[in-house]
Structure 1
């Protein structure tokens, strides 16, 4: 790689990585807020919390990378134009392709890493995330019902435990179930425990009674030897019977198993095209950023106008791509314009940069010679 190309590549690499890490940190913070309750109210360790949130990053990283690369290209090349460095490079004989080659090389690297994310890391991390969630629910259930306190594991459900025995069994249990406002239920039991099942967590009550007040004010008693209360710590507590679309590799998205509902098969198709199309935005957004900046003569006065044009073009392409990705779920033919808009925008931007530059030299007025006749320079 020529010296100038290496210089441009170094100028691009660090800002691209810095912006990517910055956006990842912002997304990580916004996503981690969802799990703060697990630390504050449910005794989850900080290490498990960090691990849980990190497992979400590959999904968001594949979306963040094209935007970060676009911002880096805009920032670096705008500065090079402002400092007249690109003018010097062009005067030294570097053509349009030599100026854009470092950015394209970096975009290709981001694209390849994007395919590694979408084809392998995203499904692997998604599966680990689901398994960790199930493990956390079991651990949380073990410590959630604290003795000597009125615990509210679910809205409308209050549980009091007198003591927790060394064996892990609960003694002296009172349950007030008001999830059905019209029929509140009170249950008391001598002992019990938390039992995981295929459909979620349950509280098993042993040797107790169930009190229910009817609409006319009468109270009915049911004495039982064994009774089960649905705890339902988190919505969707049970482990899914089939892998979610984010947990599937590319081959599983291409050839899903038989017997799946048509709606779910359509969602798998949309996930497939999203995984295949999104890494291409790294190249498309890079060329869209370079197109307006490097077309024509370099000028400080028109620099911000060109940045605005590139930004609007990037937003239009991305919004169109998102719309078409959603449309693929209901209409498989929407995949055709999805790839065409990405490739078409890249080709148009590349054509703007590589087209021959025609410099117009203003005409000078004729000058008079010493003998009075006009002389054309």
Structure 2
């Protein structure tokens, strides 16, 4: 029995870990490409970008852990079903509960990791990530390369002769502003430096220069200035500018205080976040235990794609229910608790039903039909072509 437990545990743990790596990479890829853009176009150091990737990873691990657990167990046990090993296990008198026993270890471990991520690691990493982001926006909003025409801001061409004081002071500036195509402006200044404008956006304070503009009717205008404030149109993004994201960075104590706040919107949002941090780990636990009886519905006819298709279908349905529950709770149609827990209740009922059918060795007609369709697809595809490979 110990050998069987180790065999099942090894088989499903390897596939789950592989699925976790693949899914996390796919989810992180768009974010990594955005950070690479900071490295290429804005000269942000690789060490800072690497730290930012590590800080956003916990947020995406929360989403990929339940998916990896479901897909990994289904594919792992699916291979055993395809090789008739599950039939041999059943014929040996080993019950479904005996299969649950070794696989419950990684399921509980992953659930505990999801709980820790939601309550501790994600809020802390989110706060650090926002701090780094604000620091980059405030100190190095756009990349300035000396003796080069910089086009990092659409409509603006900036030329800087040299930088000093750690890159904060720009000297010998030539700026061509085409953000208004009908009224292009050229500005020449002896020096300039970045600062936060009165509107909260990044601005460039220019000193000792002139402003040149072609007015309608081919009229030429020149304005000499001692100081000139040029708005760059880039806002400083902070936590206060995004309430939906700010609540994710709340610690346990902050979240409890927000739940009893006088502001009804903040209290409702904190209530939804509190339930969400518990609901996601529970969904991870249920999806892990659902994968085991689902895998028992496979056979040699269903094909190796059965587990993957079932996993994707379950995940899509769960995502729809979670999104619908959250949207209804946000609009006040249902309570935050119902919006967070109703998808898990539906998942619990479905898991109980599939487990009951698998325990009594009863097939589920929907899965039988799906397995038959998957088994028939290769034959149908072969029948639509003749031996020369051309369609009939």
**Under a length normalisation based on structure 2, what TM-score does the superposition of the two structures give?**
0.77
Q: Is the 8 A contact 1:270 1:326 kept in 2?
A: no
Deviates more, 1:324-333 or 1:28-37: 324-333
CA distance in 1, matches of 2:133, 2:175: 26
Q: Which of 276, 283, 290 pairs up with 1:281?
A: 283
Q: Which of 251, 254, 267 pairs up with 1:252?
A: 254
Q: Measured at CA, do residues 215 and 272 of structure 1 come closer, stay the same or move farther in structure 2, by a change above 3 Å?
A: farther
Q: Is the 8 A contact 1:280 1:342 kept in 2?
A: no
CA distance in 1, matches of 2:221, 2:305: 77
Q: Measured at CA, do residues 230 and 269 of structure 1 come closer, stay the same or move farther in structure 2, by a change above 3 Å?
A: farther
Q: Is the 8 A contact 1:187 1:210 kept in 2?
A: yes
CA distance in 1, matches of 2:256, 2:67: 28
Give the CA deviation at 1:130: 1.0
Quote the residue 1:162 is aligned against: 161
Give the CA deviation at 1:357: 6.8
**Under a length normalisation based on structure 1, what TM-score does the superposition of the two structures give?**
0.80
- Match status 1:290 vs 2:289: no
Quote the residue 2:145 is aligned against: 146
Q: Is the 8 A contact 2:20 2:68 kept in 1?
A: yes
- Match status 1:38 vs 2:43: no
Residue aligned with 2:180, SS: coil
1:260-280: per-residue Cα shift (whole Å, max 9, x none)? 583x66555544443322222
- Match status 1:78 vs 2:78: yes
CA distance in 1, matches of 2:185, 2:2: 78
Q: Is the 8 A contact 2:41 2:152 kept in 1?
A: no
- Match status 1:351 vs 2:329: no
Give the CA deviation at 1:108: 1.7
Give the CA deviation at 1:224: 2.4
Give the CA deviation at 1:343: 2.3
CA distance in 1, matches of 2:153, 2:110: 44
Residue aligned with 1:66, SS: helix
Residue aligned with 1:37, SS: helix
Quote the residue 2:236 is aligned against: 237
Give the CA deviation at 1:204: 1.3
CA distance in 2, matches of 1:356, 1:300: 16
Quote the residue 2:23 is aligned against: 23
Deviates more, 1:345-354 or 1:162-171: 162-171
Deviates more, 1:273-282 or 1:36-45: 273-282
Q: Measured at CA, do residues 254 and 130 of structure 1 come closer, stay the same or move farther in structure 2, by a change above 3 Å?
A: same
CA distance in 1, matches of 2:89, 2:165: 77
1:341-376: per-residue Cα shift (whole Å, max 9, x none)? 232222223322334779xxxxxxxxxxxxxxxxxx
Residue aligned with 1:56, SS: helix
Alignment of 1:77-116 (within 5 A): 77-116=77-116
Give the CA deviation at 1:201: 3.3
Q: Is the 8 A contact 1:149 1:161 kept in 2?
A: yes
1:243-293: per-residue Cα shift (whole Å, max 9, x none)? 71222235534542857583x665555444433222222222223322243
RMSD of Structure 2 on Structure 1 (CA): 3.2
Q: Is the 8 A contact 1:114 1:279 kept in 2?
A: yes
- Match status 1:206 vs 2:204: no
Q: Measured at CA, do residues 113 and 207 of structure 1 come closer, stay the same or move farther in structure 2, by a change above 3 Å?
A: same
Q: Is the 8 A contact 1:164 1:170 kept in 2?
A: yes
Quote the residue 2:188 is aligned against: 188
CA distance in 1, matches of 2:310, 2:162: 67
| Structure with greater contact order relative to length (CA < 8 Å, sep ≥ 6) | 2
Q: Which has the higher helix share?
A: 2
Residue aligned with 1:256, SS: helix
Deviates more, 1:67-76 or 1:91-100: 91-100
Q: Measured at CA, do residues 232 and 54 of structure 1 come closer, stay the same or move farther in structure 2, by a change above 3 Å?
A: farther
Give the CA deviation at 1:115: 0.8
Q: Which of 334, 339, 350 pairs up with 2:344?
A: 339
Q: Please, which runs of 5 or more residues in structure 1 have no aligned partner?
A: 359-377
Deviates more, 1:55-64 or 1:182-191: 182-191
Residue aligned with 2:152, SS: strand
1:202-242: per-residue Cα shift (whole Å, max 9, x none)? 32111223334444544444332222222345xx4243447
Greater radius of gyration (CA): 1
CA distance in 2, matches of 1:317, 1:239: 32
CA distance in 1, matches of 2:341, 2:99: 32
Q: Measured at CA, do residues 183 and 88 of structure 1 come closer, stay the same or move farther in structure 2, by a change above 3 Å?
A: same
Residue aligned with 1:154, SS: coil
